[in-house]
Structure 1
């Protein structure tokens, strides 16, 4: 990972030095200003990317941070003679605090509701500053020691300052991408439920992201005000400002530091030149440029130029590679072998105690007064017809839904209304009926996400992830992208991700779904080995042939109620279970 990080930064530093060399020979003040603005907008795009690119929460309101930094810098110099050198960093502090103030209430929203709510903030600030009597403010000129107030007659110095700022933000972005911070954000973006189940506190990480993002955006606004000299509420809080941050990042490619740099390098010169040449004839030509860019992007490269090119290069390489089947098989025999009795027996420790669990959705009782116990090393099969409340029960045990009534004791502590990441830390792991991989991460990184809940360092997380992959037999494909895996490999990878959190109890929701007989046998073999090592398992599954030979006990649900709990031999012969779930065909086969 360190080699990859170093290589990508070298690829950036070389063109950055070439850019500075070009700026050194440009003497035209207009083109010199454009070279500086490209860097400022690229940095602003990077700030947007740290929040929206990594978390997937699209922000239409980053102008709130940008404009606040701009006005804070100018007004501080006007009223208190504070140097922009000081306010450049002071604006960062203001932007971070503003990010926390905005993020805490707004992160309760999802999807387009979040995006629209973010739009309200810069509009509100714009009208507040107009109401306060600041329709236009200018940076005061300083004649004695102007450099102390970031005022230079040579525009190339501003380009140099902007480049240093951009380099620092690029290094920070790359550090975030390859650290626990970035991994958590990307996991939230690709599947927030899976991230929460893996122990990630999504609200905490998103608040950190918006604080960092707001700080950088405010600092970019501060530098912009110094370079432009005159600002208005519309020029720093307007819709076009937020649109520029969003467009340059999305056009180049979100979720990578390259995206905003590519987008700014291509779009800003076009927009600025057209504005200079045609602005009098076609007011708002810059908005047209960004609108056309978005249309082209959606049509040809929905994820941005960077990802389009990378995928094209990756597919070209695959054509030259000889496919190899490198998955380590976890079971030799395809036939299901009957499970021996649980060695822990009824005297082992109770790790999960569910008492009178109920969940109502309006007038619908999805789960009604369900009680059962899980002992260490036990495998409990939860079965029932579709709509019986099985997955709802798992969601209650895992914290994705709050029960209407009931208690869930984990190692003796009631955790019925705790969040998923809290239950994960308490030792309850989870897989999902519909697979939830982080598709653009490698298999190893997917599993490493699960290790963060207990790991104290990146090295420890990597060791835990490698061990979990070994347990499920996926070590040989650890560097492949999750989006390239087969159904069986994805099921095993999600199991490994749950194992990486070092749980004492696993909740497996239809882990065998979509698998053939041989593939099911391999997954069953893994679950058996985990149980033999002391892991407690509750599994929802419809493949009764596998379940009968896998579990110690069955819990049968119908219409949210427990209709029976007992040994497989008892449950499969019970007439109520046969009528509600197994059917007459099962009964006839059992008699044969």
Structure 2
């Protein structure tokens, strides 16, 4: 029922647009009405990759042009119907996306964007060199329907609308699925997504494959509408710019963004081109450039998000007036600290052997060896710069060791990627919090549950259980960007345990918390330990650590200087010297 309800707005929009288009008799305006859904679909294809993963592509014209030329050349040389060629073009676009994505996803940020720009430009020159400067589709008067050559231009508009509706529905399905949640997590914090068990490379490859297929399919339809294909018209920089512009203007990362952008910008650009193109060459590029500048200045995330945020603020202000302060406040369910019985067993679940990592001449971690036993809480302490976080990054795959082994249940996992180590049973939180800010608490935690859940429903049940364990059930629907530091720390903890890890790595979970807030988080960690979780924790708050952990491991300058029970380690002269300096060693007895 919910899915049918979500399909209703695009269906109503499509029907309304079709009614308007059927009332237009001017052939040029009818062509504009056909181009709007074409560029909307192309924008949706760009949005599927760049809008949901955050990797900006300047090269989507490569897929669009491949589809256009595949459809045109297939008719010229093989006399194949475009009804068959457009699906073939989609397959070629998907294959091209996979081939382009695999090497290019090694790059990030503007390097990725510039690398993507190179592909359509290179293909453009190849097609010009091959002699395909202008390809005209053959006229098939004997079988116009079979070759998609309609006498009534309204049929092109209706077919374009059908493609747009199908793409919108597909995008909506993806948004609500594991696919869409993984892409949104990658966009908002790729490191956190990887640590939560998301295979970021695999999901990005799926995204660019599907994105390339959609772009190629609509490129094939575009060639059929215009009946003439040139390299510049399908591989040119303006083509990629149009996809990017309509999506950014309307709103990236949402199904309605490219549609809004196309409905506003395409008619404006086409009409101005017809009226003033002779006097102002390239006016379409000017329009798209102005649109980008306006978006950057007034609505950096696009019109959709700007309007949604304004509506939310207005709704929130009305609710604040009508609600009492007690009802409006969101309270976190607090758990009381309780004494922990030392319950560590002899079973070793994590063993580190001679682990080292150097950055040039700096030895950040030097020959670190230790064992973590089942149901133990191990505190890893040391002064700033001792190598504690670097050690965690080695344990869960963000860094590869220069030497040494990380054995999880006897298997050497050193050098594996973070999502593989997460699948092996290690959860992780971060010193600097890494929430998915645009997602709710529950959705943040759902991302962490995917590593164990077989279905989306199972992931939501596991996430709800994890949220309850940290006491955030009452505020589970709140957006992460609105949370306090304590709530963010607890949410990150819930995301780490949602995947049911055997071992939990907590990196300064109490950082930024007041005394009372720290006690609440400590109580949650103690409860997790009582439930059988094995924990390694980095923390500077010694008062909390002494009553929390079973054993200390002390690092200084990347090396282990001692390990043992808290009451022994805190009186060790080497530990006191590492923290306070030699002059304080004489006060060790105090």
TM range (shorter): over 0.9
1:359 and 2:363 aligned: no
Q: Which stretch shows the higher mean deviation, 35-44 or 582-591? A: 582-591
Q: Tell me what 2:332 maps to.
A: 328
Residues 497-521 of structure 1 show CA distances to partners (whole Å, capped at 9, x for unaligned) of: 0001100000000000000011000
Q: 1:399 aligns with which of 393, 397, 400?
A: 397
The equivalent residue for 2:249 is 251
- SS where residue 505 of structure 2 aligns? strand
Compute the displacement of 1:143 (Å): 1.2
| Over 3 Å off, 4+ runs | 5-8, 582-592
Q: How far did residue 14 of structure 1 move?
A: 1.5
SS in 2 for 1:148: coil
The equivalent of 1:288 in structure 2 is 286
> What is residue 78 of structure 1 aligned with on the other side?
76
Q: Partners of 1:178 and 1:282 in 2: how far apart?
A: 44
Larger displacement relative to structure 2 (347-356 or 470-479): 347-356
Select which of 544, 547, 561 maps to 2:545.
547
**1:65 corresponds to:** 63
**Structure 2 residue aligned with 1:87:** 85
- In the TM superposition, 1:521-560 aligns within 5 A as 521-560=519-558
Q: Which residue of 2 aligns with 1:348?
A: 346
Q: Corresponding residue for 1:177? A: 175
Equivalent residue, structure 2, for 1:101: 99
Q: Could you tell me which residue of structure 2 aligns to residue 42 of structure 1?
A: 40
Residues 336 and 523 of structure 2 are in contact (CA less than 8 Å); yes or no, is this contact kept in structure 1? no
Question: Per-residue deviation at 1:7?
Answer: 3.8
Q: 1:454 to 1:300 in 2, by over 3 A?
A: same
Q: In the TM superposition, what is the alpha-carbon distance from 1:586 to its structure 2 partner?
A: 8.2
Q: What displacement does 1:532 show?
A: 1.2
Deviations 1:203-262 (A, max 9, x none): 000000001000000011000000011111001000000000000001000001100000
Shift of 1:13: 1.7
d(CA) in 1 for partners of 2:348 and 2:20?
70
Instruction: Supply the distance in 1 between the matched residues of 2:331 and 2:353 (Cα, whole angstroms).
Output: 42
- What is the TM-score of this pair, normalised by structure 2? 0.97
Deviates more, 1:227-236 or 1:317-326: 317-326
Q: Note if 1:373 corresponds to 2:371.
A: yes
Q: Deviation of residue 589 (structure 1)?
A: 8.4
Cα distance in 2 for partners of 1:485, 1:591 equals: 43
Which residue number corresponds to residue 28 of structure 1? 26
Cα deviation, 1:77-131, whole Å, max 9, x if unaligned, reads 0000011111111111000000000000000100000000000000001000000
**Bigger Cα displacement from structure 2, 230-239 vs 321-330:** 321-330
Where 1:130 maps in the other structure, the secondary structure is helix
1:476-515 maps to which residues of 2 (within 5 A)?
476-515=474-513
Match of 1:276 among 274, 277, 282: 274
Q: Does 1:301 align with 2:299?
A: yes
CA contact (8 A) 1:431 1:495 kept: yes
- Could you give the per-residue CA deviations for residues 308-341 of structure 1, whole angstroms, max 9, x where no partner exists? 00011111111112353333333346xxx6x544
TM-score normalised by structure 1 residue count: 0.97
Q: Which segments of 5 or more consecutive residues in structure 1 lack a partner in the other structure?
A: none
Partner-residue secondary structure (3-state), 1:164: helix
Q: Which residue, 158, 161, 173 being the options, matches 1:160?
A: 158
Structure 2 SS opposite 1:538? strand
Q: Which residue of 2 aligns with 1:143?
A: 141
Partner Cα separation in structure 1 for residue 500 and residue 28 of structure 2: 59
Residue aligning to 1:310? 308
Q: Does structure 2 conserve the Cα–Cα contact (< 8 Å) formed by 1:134 and 1:233? A: yes
User: Residues of 2 paired with 1:474 and 1:564: CA distance?
Assistant: 37
Q: Aligned partners of 1:590, 1:493: CA distance in 2, in Å? A: 39
* Structure 1 equivalent of residue 431 of structure 2: 433
1:341–1:552 contact (8 Å) kept in structure 2: no
Give CA deviations for 1:270-310 in whole Å, capped at 9, x if unaligned. 10011111111111100000000000000000000000000
Within the candidate set 235, 238, 241, 1:240 is matched to 238
CA apart distance, 1:179: 0.3
2:584 and 2:551 map into 1 onto residues whose CA distance is: 19
Structure 2: 5+ residue runs without aligned partners?
none
- In 2: Cα distance, 1:575 partner to 1:200 partner: 44
Task: For residue 174 of structure 2, give the secondary structure of its aligned residue in structure 1.
Answer: helix
Moved more, 61-70 or 579-588: 579-588
**Secondary structure in 2 matching 1:513:** coil
The question of whether the paired residues in 1 share the 8 Å contact of 2:340 and 2:526 is answered with: no
Q: How many residues align?
A: 584
**1:261 and 1:51 mapped to 2: Cα distance?**
16
Partner Cα separation in structure 2 for residue 8 and residue 278 of structure 1 = 41
